[in-house]
Chain A
């Protein structure tokens, strides 16, 4: 990442970015004990998700005895109990980590791409195009994301996971693109950009080589928060019965399976929820120390 502006270094003087923002972020994160713990916990959860087939004691879809083994409270054999279909809740929570994290990350990648592109274009173009694009964005931001998704998902019943990811991503870029647009707008007239323009760099080149590398930090923060948000949203939608198709195990689906009898089957709400809070909390802590580091640097 350093010397992104290498080709114009002589003209632009010292580059505004001496150290790669990512390296800087990592170093800053590791300085705070709370974020070290968060990084460790998140690492464990990710690892659990990755190694789900090796760790999970049972097959998450297996219904060994639909009569005898259903609705069991936590025990040594089933530490998180079993569900109404006699499936092992611990195994489902482990596989849920895999699915929920994967959906969170993939959907955020979709949002990032859209948000950066839209914001960068609006900020760089300026003028009427920018004004129109921002009004449209205002409208999208005025529709609560959950409501928008409900509207979409009810219209398209029985969606595949892939389509769900796309829709989660499609509804998640509005805030980010506003940040990107603001940053691009602020940097557009920075000296090193003017220098690049004076040397005849194309618009596209200036945008990609000079502007974007300088706004990586807020994008990384937004992405971290974005993953957390998608995980909560997916769970909420699954809880409403229009998210991840059953019988796949996502944290929201597990809670949904037990929601009819939650007063008696508390384990079906408690354990997947705890994992979810832990994941979201660690992501929030990391995003916070990332943005602190970014603020300090400015």
Chain B
């Protein structure tokens, strides 16, 4: 087991190294130089230019630049964001917790909700309810993230002003509340974006889990369970779900890219001050180091996500655990 984890960790490291190479190639294949916009910008101070030149060694030969780039990355240095006039590491570092909260709530919520929906559907497989729910999950599955987020904001913040229109806290009152008030304020602002992202992810989970359950049901050990005299709900809950959860663990890893992408749009639309919001703003200001920093951090998150789900899978499946 430990050997397997070590192996997977080494694999993840290789992947991150390749990702770094890809981003380096991106930067250098671009027409001109993505920093030219910075270099020619009169608003960028001389010190910033100096820092950038020094950091990236822009006048050095390419291999040297690459080595420099990789060693900077290895030290957690992602470059200088000129729109924030701060290191990219700091900008993304302060935004990351918000993204993690949003993604975490949506991830947990969507798996719980999606699995429940799937169980409900399979217990009534072939019925009208099952078909309607399948149709609904396909509908949400097919929905572009930004469109659902726009509609959610429009409906529940403008037409029915239940939720705030955006941000992580109340811009004025937050400072004046006590601890309890602040927590409520945060949750109140988190609710709609998290629900939106959760709904999008639940559709995927429900579809996947329903298929996984239906895959398991014809198995011989399900027949054995029937033979023991268990009721259908007991069989579903105990025997089928337990086995059908294994592929779902893989889905945790697989869903990371989609979840992250979803978080980008949801953050933009709800002005949720996370990584996605920062990167989307950086697109507008052509703050290239910040964009590339976002790409790298996002890729690392995805890699870690799939690493995590592989390890969880190995732990959950007794056939692998004993290796």
On whether the beta carbons of B146 and A239 are closer than 8 Å, the reply is yes
Closest to B280 in A: A240
On whether the beta carbons of B138 and A281 are closer than 8 Å, the reply is yes
**Most interface-central of A150, A235, A280 (chain B CB within 10 A):** A150
- A297 beta carbon closer than 8 Å to chain B: no
A interface residue count range (under 10 / 10 to 19 / 20 to 34 / 35 or more): 35 or more
Known: A150-B283, A266-B154, A285-B138. A140 touches B265 (CB 8 A): no
Complex-state Cα separation, A150 to B30, whole angstroms:
13
Q: Which residues of A contact B279 (CB under 8 A)?
A: 147, 150
Q: Contacting A146 at CB < 8 Å: which of B11, B264, B303? A: B264
On whether the beta carbons of A147 and B299 are closer than 8 Å, the reply is yes
Stretch at the interface among A3-11, A176-184, A199-207, A269-277: A269-277
- A296 beta carbon closer than 8 Å to chain B: no
Known: A156-B31, A239-B146, A259-B150. A144 touches B261 (CB 8 A): yes
Q: Contacting B142 at CB < 8 Å: which of A143, A259, A269, A280? A: A280
On whether the beta carbons of B18 and A135 are closer than 8 Å, the reply is yes
Q: Measured between C-beta atoms, what is the minimum distance from A136 to chain B in Å?
A: 6
On whether the beta carbons of A263 and B154 are closer than 8 Å, the reply is yes
On whether the beta carbons of A236 and B146 are closer than 8 Å, the reply is yes
Q: Which residues of B contact A232 (CB under 8 A)?
A: 144
Complex-state Cα separation, A147 to B299, whole angstroms:
9
On whether the beta carbons of B261 and A284 are closer than 8 Å, the reply is no
Complex-state Cα separation, A151 to B27, whole angstroms:
9
On whether the beta carbons of A255 and B147 are closer than 8 Å, the reply is yes
- B54 beta carbon closer than 8 Å to chain A: no
Type the 1/0 row for A125-146, where 1 means its CB is closer than 8 Å to any CB of B: 0000000000110111011111
- A44 beta carbon closer than 8 Å to chain B: no
Closest to A139 in B: B18
- A262 beta carbon closer than 8 Å to chain B: yes
Type the 1/0 row for B100-117, where 1 means its CB is closer than 8 Å to any CB of A: 000000000000000000
Q: Measured between C-beta atoms, what is the minimum distance from A135 to chain B in Å?
A: 6
Closest to A136 in B: B18
Q: List 16 additional A-B contacts (Cβ < 8 Å) besides A144-B298, A270-B151, A281-B138.
A: A135-B15, A139-B18, A142-B257, A143-B298, A143-B302, A145-B257, A147-B279, A148-B22, A148-B295, A155-B31, A155-B34, A156-B30, A157-B286, A239-B265, A262-B154, A284-B141
Minimum-distance CB pairs A-B, first 5: A139-B18, A155-B30, A281-B142, A273-B147, A144-B257
**What is the interface of chain B, defined by CB distance below 8 A to chain A?**
11, 14-15, 18-19, 22-23, 26-27, 29-31, 34, 138-139, 141-147, 150-151, 153-154, 158, 257-258, 260-261, 264-265, 268, 279-280, 282-284, 286, 288, 291-292, 294-295, 298-299, 302-303, 306
Sample 12 A-B pairs with CB under 8 A, ordered by A number. Answer: A135-B18, A139-B14, A143-B298, A147-B260, A147-B264, A147-B298, A147-B299, A151-B23, A154-B283, A154-B286, A156-B31, A285-B138
